[in-house]
Amino acid sequence: MAAELSRGGGASLDLRASHADRDQVVEVLRVAAGDGRLTAEELDERVEAALTARTLGDLAVLTVDLPGSATGVVGKEVDRIEQRGASARRGGGWVVPRRLEIDSQWGEVTLDFTEAVITHDTLHIEVDLRGGALKLLTRPGVVVDTDSLVLEYGGVKNRSAGGSGAPLELRVEIHGRMNFGQVVVRPQRRGVLKRRPRP
């Protein structure tokens, strides 16, 4: 599985998982539980999710916070989002690149980090946003810095989850220019539980 995941960066996460891929992740989970890194309940939940996973991305999410992870996920150096009058979203088990370029006019771009696979310690986002919004949904350990963003008739609301006391996992630095728009940074709302789709 490691070879498959590293081939082609994040795109390969859409490949279908094999029985061997699932078994490999289950073994990583069992070792982590034996080391005290997962509770019995967490182990049960993750093993069930691993055995019913459809794609390599579904499996990568289950071990990304564990040492000795067998996923071998490598994030892209540069990714790009370009849209006009529409919406774009990165969510679920997406692999966070080192640099993200966003060119957006009169639309909305959402970056959901709550289940993201983080392989770099810093994400640089270069923004050219004209009308619309950039929304970032964070989790504990993800800190967002908007100090280098140039605003013209726009605003920033930054309530990132970085101050939760969790160790720093990812620093997001937003640069560039925004006209007639807004940047909203907030943690995932409490009580919103995401259910994994059943096969």
Summarised one tens digit per residue, pLDDT across range 19-73 is 888 888 888 888 888 888 889 999 999 999 999 999 888 888 888 777 655 455 5
Residue 19 lies in a domain: yes
- Based on the domain organization, do 57 and 108 belong to the same domain? no
- Based on the domain organization, do 82 and 59 belong to the same domain? no
CA angle 171, 138, 22 (to 5 degrees): 95
Do 27 and 47 meet the contact criterion of CB atoms below 8 Å apart?
no
- Based on the domain organization, do 87 and 112 belong to the same domain? yes
- Based on the domain organization, do 114 and 152 belong to the same domain? yes
CA distance 50 to 20: 11
- Based on the domain organization, do 12 and 86 belong to the same domain? no
In sequence order, the β-bridge partners of residue 125 are 100, 174
Which pTM does this prediction carry? 0.64
Structural domain total, the chain: 2
Asked whether the predicted pLDDT for residue 137 surpasses 90, the reply is yes
54's tokens: 């459809």
Cβ atoms within 10 Å, residue 29: 24
For residues 151-171, give the mean pLDDT: 81
Looking at residue 3, its pLDDT comes to 36
Looking at residue 127, its pLDDT comes to 97
- Based on the domain organization, do 59 and 97 belong to the same domain? no
73's tokens: 């996920």
- Based on the domain organization, do 168 and 85 belong to the same domain? yes
Residue 114 lies in a domain: yes
- Based on the domain organization, do 21 and 44 belong to the same domain? yes
- Based on the domain organization, do 54 and 92 belong to the same domain? no
Residue 106 lies in a domain: yes
Identify the band that residue 104 occupies on the pLDDT scale cut at 50, 70 and 90. very high
165's tokens: 């006391």
For residues 59-88, give the mean pLDDT: 78
H-run or E-run covering 161: none
For residues 130-136, give the mean pLDDT: 94
Q: Which domain holds residue 120?
A: 78-187
CA distance 35 to 25: 15
Q: How far is CA 69 from the centre of its chain?
A: 17
136's tokens: 């970032």
Residue 160 lies in a domain: yes
For residue 147, give every residue at least 6 positions away whose Cβ sits within 8 Å of its Cβ, in sequence order, or none: none
- State the Rg of the chain over Cα: 18
Residue 196 lies in a domain: no
Residue 135 lies in a domain: yes
